[in-house]
């Protein structure tokens, strides 16, 4: 079965360019503005969209994304409302891949089978669940694959050649390489170090390798995209949302357009990359 993620990466490979993957937090700063931002992303140049599922204890997220999740939770965002947002997005866009990113606890509370059925029906294509290692594949990964969803695994600078096969065993869609050790937004990715890591991962898999954490500017996005199949930007986008809220943390007339402007600039950076030979 080919998912939207598989189709999108195949299409980009034919075009000879890398993917620009954007991350936004569902419900930040409120449900309506969040949906408006989501709808604006493909037009601004996003090839794949990751949507954060707000959670009270996001251990891999830096201060910016933690704050976005708290804003969303304060505004009443839930996992069910996140799926409803995807359904609304799909009314106008049936092509852009959607990946839900977050933690296992909300899915466990929802009920794995119910969640997978509802996510698939809503138009979700893949999952990135930060706190489920390969040893727990029977919990969600394998059921997700059977439901027709890609399960995207994280590889990190500390994932050595001995560990990589386990990480890649049931991974599909793409591999998400975390370019730095630590939390999101904590440092800037080093493109030379990332290039070596991507090459090493590619020796173990034919899946696309996308790089996230530490990409904030069009220049860094371009440098990363020259060696990876995709560049993922989250913190910089979330920071622009925050910077365009009023004193009470509410959306302003500039919120959506400011995000779209940044995404457009970052997308141009990715599209300017000279794709390395496979």
Q: What is the pLDDT of residue 278?
A: 45
The answer to whether residue 129 scores a pLDDT higher than 90 is yes
The answer to whether residue 277 scores a pLDDT higher than 50 is no
Phi and psi torsions of 205, nearest 5°: -150, 155
Local structure of 66: helix, strand or coil: helix
Cis ω before 29 (30° cut-off from 0): yes
Q: What is the pLDDT of residue 190?
A: 81
**Residue 275 near residue 226, CB atoms below 8 Å:** yes
Does an H or E element contain 211, and which? strand 209-212
Q: What is the pLDDT of residue 57?
A: 86
Write down the catalytic residue from 50, 118, 137, 239.
Answer: 50
CA atoms within 13 A on the CB side of 52: 31
Our answer to whether residue 93 is catalytic in this structure is no
Question: Average pLDDT in the 96-102 region?
Answer: 98
β-bridge partners, 33: none
Q: Is the pTM of this model over 0.85?
A: yes
Return the domain boundaries, the chain: 2-270
Q: What is the pLDDT of residue 183?
A: 62
Count other C-beta atoms under 10 Å from residue 32's C-beta.
12
Write down the catalytic residue from 61, 118, 125, 239.
Answer: 61
Local structure of 254: helix, strand or coil: coil
DSSP 8-state assignment for residue 17: -
Q: What is the pLDDT of residues 148-199, one digit of tens each?
A: 999 999 999 999 999 999 999 999 999 999 988 766 666 677 888 899 999 9
Give the start-end residues of each E strand in 57-183. 98-102, 126-129, 150-151, 154-155, 175-178
How far, in Å, CA of 259 to CA of 238, rounded? 8
β-bridge partners, 15: none
Our answer to whether residue 28 is catalytic in this structure is no
Question: Average pLDDT in the 74-95 region?
Answer: 97
How far, in Å, CA of 150 to CA of 190, rounded? 28
**Residue 210 near residue 229, CB atoms below 8 Å:** yes
Average pLDDT, the chain: 94
Structure tokens at 153: 């695994």
Q: What is the CATH number of domain 2-270?
A: 3.20.20.70
DSSP 8-state assignment for residue 278: -
The answer to whether residue 240 scores a pLDDT higher than 80 is yes
Question: Average pLDDT in the 53-62 region?
Answer: 87
């Amino acid at each position: 079965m080919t998912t939207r993620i598989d189709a999108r990466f195949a299409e980009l490979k034919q075009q000879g360019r890398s993917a620009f993957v954007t991350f936004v937090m569902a419900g930040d700063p409120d449900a309506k503005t969040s949906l408006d931002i989501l709808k604006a992303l493909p037009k601004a140049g996003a090839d794949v969209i990751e949507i954060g599922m707000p959670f009270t204890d996001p251990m891999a997220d830096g201060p910016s994304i933690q704050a976005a999740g708290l804003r969303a939770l304060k505004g009443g965002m839930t996992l069910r409302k996140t799926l409803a947002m995807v359904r609304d997005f799909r009314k106008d866009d049936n092509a852009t891949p959607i990946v839900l990113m977050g933690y296992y606890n909300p899915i466990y509370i929802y009920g794995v089978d119910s969640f997978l059925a509802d996510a698939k029906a809503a138009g979700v294509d893949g999952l990135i669940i930060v706190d489920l290692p390969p040893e727990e594949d029977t919990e969600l990964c394998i059921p997700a694959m059977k439901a027709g969803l890609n399960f995207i695994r994280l590889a990190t600078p500390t994932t050595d050649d001995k560990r990589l096969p386990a990480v890649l065993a049931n991974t599909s869609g793409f591999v998400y390489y975390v370019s730095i050790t630590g939390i999101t937004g904590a440092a800037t990715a080093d493109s030379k170090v990332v290039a070596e890591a991507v090459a090493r991962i590619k020796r173990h898999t034919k899946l696309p390798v996308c790089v996230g954490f530490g990409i904030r500017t069009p220049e860094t996005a371009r440098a990363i995209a020259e060696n990876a199949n995709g560049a993922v930007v989250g913190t910089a986008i979330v920071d622009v949302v925050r910077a365009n809220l009023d004193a009470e943390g509410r959306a302003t007339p500039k919120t959506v357009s400011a995000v779209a402007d940044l995404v457009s600039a970052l997308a141009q950076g990715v599209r300017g990359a000279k794709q390395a030979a496979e």
